[in-house]
Structure 1
Amino acid sequence: MSEHRVRFAALFDAEVRPHNERFRVAAAITRGEDVLDVGCGTGESTREAAQASGTGHVLGVDVSAAAITRARELGGAAFEVADAQTHPFPVHGFDVVLSRFGAMFFADPPAAFASLARALRPGGRLVLLVWQERARNEWYAVLHDAVAPGTAPPPAGAHFSLGDPGTTRALLETAGFTGVTFTDVDEPVCYGPDSATATEFALGLKDVQELRGTEGAAERLRAAFAAHETDDGVLLGSRAWIVTAVSRG
């Protein structure tokens, strides 16, 4: 997956461009703030935070060495291979912790969010962008119905692990956060400029690879994407949350 993430880095960023614009506004990074970006991938959100912070220390971390190598090549901030669940971040070392579609993949969410709460200064901000529940995301239905038509979807995976507000609020409050809020983001995702690119992109996604695809899956994907082609690319419906919270310190 990491090689696919690096190969299609520009498309991964373009896929969620409207979401990212909302996320950047919600983060509201100001000059001099120290920022930790968790699950930063190839670093777009980290570089944007560094530009806003200017003089602050901005660090992007990801478990993918390939993604971090590419992020370092692009520059613009500090990057490190690290697992937020176990990495010894400096206590009270950051004003803001960000995660753009990264926090859903924690293997041990309570440990990870407790670690992030410790890394924040008292009153520091946590800002997450996460998918809402699977049933609210058209993009998953399109992938499933094309790859494995006529089958029941498997149990919802990590992508949707923070989609339920009640569960996520309880998780964050237990980890040391308060003032948890959820803002609805109803924007399409772009799978590429055309159906051929979208198909190649989708076939490397974990969601697709976990489905038991039947013969002709690629052709069905391409046809499904063709039905969603617009002048702005292949657009599929999606729903996400911007989750904000404050460290109790």
Structure 2
Amino acid sequence: MVIPVKPLHVAKSRLRGAADDGVGDPEAHARLALALALDTVAAVRAARRVRQLLVITSDPTVALELTTAGVPVAPDRPGGGLNPALERGAELLREHDPGTALGALQADLPALRSAELDAAIETAAAVFAAGPVHRAFCADAHGEGTTLLLCAPGTTLDPHFGAGSAHRHERSGAYRLPGDWPGLRRDVDTGEDLRRAADLGVGPHTRGVLAAAPRPRRPAVTSRESLGFAQPSDPS
């Protein structure tokens, strides 16, 4: 399984401010982006059907966190973009195990459960065994993007991530997986996505960042008495 992680200072730009009540502090944003990736990686490591995991990143903080935890990391090619990073990761995994199936997973799935990932891989494996289809993908909760792309042994991953990727993957011949996996489908691009992921239950890293975030201030409620107005008399 290949997971690409962008440099934290440019990752998840539409989430900026979600970790600090709209302030948009770069350090708070980086902590949130890192937490999303760490919880995603933790769920993948716990999945039974994932034999190999490789994170592609050029961010030194991400690389240090993951290598310290024993996760293999390879640097991204400068200016390569998401799909070239996934192709590089696939090449590196196939160098070690030429006959392996491959998967590419987005790094912003903090509510992912390892059982969901196992179920998606098992469903795809059954599809591959049954017919001529050798690639499959899981669309996001909106049905437009892609959270997971899988390919059978001996097949090229051929990623088409980006805006509208679900339709591009489908047009390229990949099978749209039908399973009900809310954590696997709930990638986080906006504050609303993050709230919905939190409702599902996010991992400990994201939960810790959200718990430390300042709470929005509520306007003070002022009573009529404090403004000097008399309360209406009891009609009874």
TM-score, L = length of structure 2: 0.36
Answer 1 or 2: which has greater strand percent. 1
Which of structures 1 and 2 has the bigger CA Rg? 2
TM-score, L = length of structure 1: 0.35
